[in-house]
Amino acid sequence: MKQGFYILLLFTFFQVSGQKFYSKEYYDNGKLKSEGWLNQNQRVDYWFYYFENGNKKEEGHFINNKKCKWWIFYNSNQEITKKSEFKNDLINGFSLFYRNSQIIRAEKYFMGNKTNEWNSLAEFKKDNNINFL
């Protein structure tokens, strides 16, 4: 009977410790600094980061504690300044730069190294068949 109890207790411990949970970190002033999902002490899924004034700073996906997919970056007034694709914590794909909610230029990266850049949206569209713009 005791052996069965200990096995159940051990199983319960590993079940609870292996589950993901929502985490929040705060600045000294009490404002939210970051929030998102942790699984076994690693960032996973979608995360948000904030400036000390409480405005959003950046947001995006993690897999195994590494940035992946699209990330959105903001200035302190919460205006989008850049959207970038990541893979394994490195910029990989396009980075689109914004001013007044309009794309003003673009860059392309391969595993952290810039491979191309365009100084206007027209140039970018001409060279890339992108449906989301």
**Residue 82 DSSP SS3:** strand
Bridge pairing between strands 21-26 and 56-63: unpaired
Domain-wise residue ranges, the chain: 20-72, 79-133
| Long-range Cβ contacts of 11-15 (<8 Å, 24+ apart) | none
Does residue 130 register a pLDDT over 90?
no
The model carries a pTM of: 0.82
What are the pLDDT digits (tens) for 88-123? 999 999 999 999 999 999 999 999 999 999 998 888
